[in-house]
């Protein structure tokens, strides 16, 4: 099996009436991407959680070998958010997407703890958007990650753009933090592989906000790593986080 056979995009969005399943699948096919993590888009992360999750679930059920679905819930809904997360987990979604900037809370606020505890019980990784002050910063993620050592935390976009310089030192604070590469420049991805380790870097595109081909090319062509390490970054690390390896 070649590395290309194992490419898994750790971060994509689809949205009703905007970015369709077919659009994403054809981009994946053109580039030889086998699987992608799909999450609801902005409006659905902020308010229309159930509609967003249902759209993701439908795509996963239609293409179970191509998509890994992440649910989103807004922690301000409290108990109801926890129930919603469990419900979508039971129906087949495999992780949680949080955007504390869109959802209106500080990333390390205790408000999010019940959801993190639920992910711990259900063994689901959590993807956090980072890079937007004051609510979504890398060191806030490190603070949270240290409180929940058994949960896997994905640092979305590695603090891009304003807090890129915090990404590596924040990830070094807690071994359960994984760095996702979308939007980030090659130099910092290289530094994170060197200082944090190839086993904690995940290729992601943030499709459709960035070009899938460009994001893939950065990892495939411009990192000075072994074939094995490249395979880990391109997909194997992500599959491990969802216990599929």
| Binding pattern for the stretch 168-207 against Zn ion, x by CB under 5 A and - elsewhere | --------------------------------------x-
Instruction: Report residue 188: phi and psi, to 5°.
Output: -75, -30
Q: Which is nearer to Zn ion, 177 or 229 (CB)?
A: 177
CB of 245 to Zn ion, least distance (A): 24
Is the backbone peptide bond immediately before 161 cis, with ω within 30 degrees of 0? yes
Distance CA 29, CA 31 (A): 5
Q: Which is nearer to Zn ion, 219 or 229 (CB)?
A: 219
Q: Which tokens belong to 103?
A: 């959802």
Cβ atoms of residues 52 and 41 within 8 Å: yes
CB of 29 to Zn ion, least distance (A): 22
What is the chain's length?
245
Q: Which is nearer to Zn ion, 154 or 229 (CB)?
A: 154
| Binding pattern for the stretch 204-233 against Zn ion, x by CB under 5 A and - elsewhere | --x---------------------------
Q: What residues are paired with 179 via a beta bridge?
A: 155, 201
How many beta carbons lie within 10 A of that of residue 24, not counting itself?
Answer: 25
CB of 98 to Zn ion, least distance (A): 10
CB of 227 to Zn ion, least distance (A): 28
Judged by CB under 5 A, the chain residues 48 through 107 that form the site for Zn ion are: none
Distance CA 31, CA 48 (A): 31
Residue with tokens 């249902």: 54
Reference 207, options 10, 67, 66; nearest CA is: 10
Return the residue nearest Zn ion (CB atom). 206
CB of 43 to Zn ion, least distance (A): 13
Q: Which is nearer to Zn ion, 21 or 229 (CB)?
A: 21
Total number of residues that touch Zn ion (CB under 5 A) = 1
DSSP 111: G
Q: Which is nearer to Zn ion, 12 or 124 (CB)?
A: 12
CB of 156 to Zn ion, least distance (A): 6
End-to-end CA distance of the chain: 14
Residue with tokens 């689809």: 14
Q: Which is nearer to Zn ion, 13 or 236 (CB)?
A: 13
Q: What are the residues binding Zn ion (CB under 5 A)?
A: 206
């Amino acid at each position: 099996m070649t590395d290309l056979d194992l490419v898994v995009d750790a971060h994509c969005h689809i949205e009703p009436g905007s970015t369709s399943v077919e659009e994403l699948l054809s981009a994946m096919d053109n580039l030889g991407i086998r699987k992608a993590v799909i999450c609801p888009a902005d409006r659905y992360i902020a308010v229309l959680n159930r509609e967003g999750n249902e759209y993701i679930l439908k795509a996963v059920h239609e293409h179970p070998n191509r998509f890994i679905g992440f649910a989103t819930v807004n922690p301000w809904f409290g108990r109801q958010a926890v129930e919603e997360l469990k419900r979508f987990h039971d129906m087949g979604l495999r992780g949680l997407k949080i955007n504390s900037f869109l959802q209106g809370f500080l990333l390390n606020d205790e408000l999010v703890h019940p959801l993190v505890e639920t992910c711990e019980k259900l063994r689901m990784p959590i993807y956090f958007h980072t890079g937007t002050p004051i609510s979504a910063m890398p060191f806030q993620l490190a603070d949270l990650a240290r409180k929940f050592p058994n949960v896997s935390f994905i640092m979305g976009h590695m603090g891009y753009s304003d807090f890129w310089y915090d990404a590596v030192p924040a990830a070094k604070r807690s071994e359960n933090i994984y760095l996702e590469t979308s939007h980030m420049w090659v130099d910092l991805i290289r530094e994170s592989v060197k200082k944090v380790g190839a086993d904690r870097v995940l290729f992601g595109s943030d499709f459709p906000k960035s070009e899938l081909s460009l994001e893939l090319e950065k990892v495939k062509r411009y990192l000075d790593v072994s074939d094995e390490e490249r395979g880990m970054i391109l997909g194997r690390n992500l599959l491990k986080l969802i216990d599929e390896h």
